[in-house]
């Protein structure tokens, strides 16, 4: 039996459009198996849609081409974004076997044609094909995250890193890494204002 979890908010239709049924199925699967598989804590169930699914889905319009998601874990944001944007190709990079097994199961269960799961640490991923953009959420502070993610991005591509209210302070603390990895146009974007109950912040930067 699926444990009780947050009822679907009205904003879900706005964020996922004609992909809503797939997003709904993924959310139900995460509610059913997420705690047992150690992917989410029990406290997340009452805010599964608002804190996790919508918070990730709102990033979808920023993406294009071939996007890597570093440290996908339960599929946040990588799987959610792949659901929202079937026209974009996603590479989910996650070192933990239990988590890649979950990600592969969900790709099959949801019949997603635009997702590849790579079991590896970001630092060890083969770089023969560079990505147009890289996303990450809750993996590490920016000064550690930049060296992990920027080398995966093609020249002119972007980092789109989900961050909390401390995003600007993290940018200040990462000044050295921003210079070393030649990031430009580093900005904090606030997404979902007037739509979501909790806004989403991303640090977006262009890789030289």
Which strand (E) or helix (H) includes residue 76? none
User: Is the CB of residue 45 less than 8 Å from the CB of residue 3?
Assistant: yes
Name the residue nearer to ligand SAM (CB basis): 22 or 76.
76
Q: Which is nearer to ligand SAM, 121 or 182 (CB)?
A: 121
Binding string, residues 103-142; x marks residues near ligand SAM by CB under 6 A: ------------------xxx-------------xxx---
57 binds ligand SAM (CB under 6 A): no
Interface mask toward ligand SAM for 17-56; x: CB under 6 A: ----------------------------------------
Member of 12, 67, 93, 134 binding ligand SAM (CB under 6 A): 93
DSSP state of 7: P
Beta-carbon contacts of 157 under 8 Å, excluding residues fewer than 6 positions away, are 65, 130, 131, 132, 133, 134, 206, 207
Under the binding rule (CB under 6 A), the answer on residue 94 touching ligand SAM is yes
Cα–Cα distance list, 52 to 59, 103, 123 (Å):
12, 16, 26
**Joined tokens for residue 2:** 């699926």
**Which positions lie near ligand SAM, rule CB under 6 A?**
70-74, 76, 93-96, 99, 121-123, 137-139, 148
């Amino acid at each position: 039996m699926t444990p009780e979890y947050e009822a679907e908010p009205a904003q879900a239709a706005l964020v996922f459009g004609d992909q809503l049924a797939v997003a709904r199925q993924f959310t139900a699967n995460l509610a059913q198996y997420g705690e047992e598989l150690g992917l989410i804590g029990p406290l997340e169930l009452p805010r599964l849609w608002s804190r996790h699914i919508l918070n990730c889905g709102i990033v979808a319009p920023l993406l294009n081409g071939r996007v890597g998601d570093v440290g996908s874990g339960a599929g946040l944001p990588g799987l959610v974004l792949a659901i929202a944007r079937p026209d974009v190709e996603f590479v989910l990079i996650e070192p933990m076997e239990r988590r890649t097994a979950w990600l592969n199961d969900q790709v099959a269960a949801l019949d997603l044609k635009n997702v590849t799961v790579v079991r590896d640490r970001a630092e060890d991923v083969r770089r023969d094909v560079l990505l147009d953009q890289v996303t990450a959420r809750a993996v590490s502070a920016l000064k550690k995250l930049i060296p992990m993610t920027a080398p995966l991005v093609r020249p002119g591509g972007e980092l789109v890193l989900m961050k909390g209210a401390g995003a600007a302070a993290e940018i200040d603390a990462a000044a050295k890494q921003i210079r070393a990895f030649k990031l430009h146009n580093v900005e904090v974007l606030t997404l979902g204002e007037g739509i979501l109950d909790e806004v989403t912040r991303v640090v977006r930067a262009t890789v030289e």
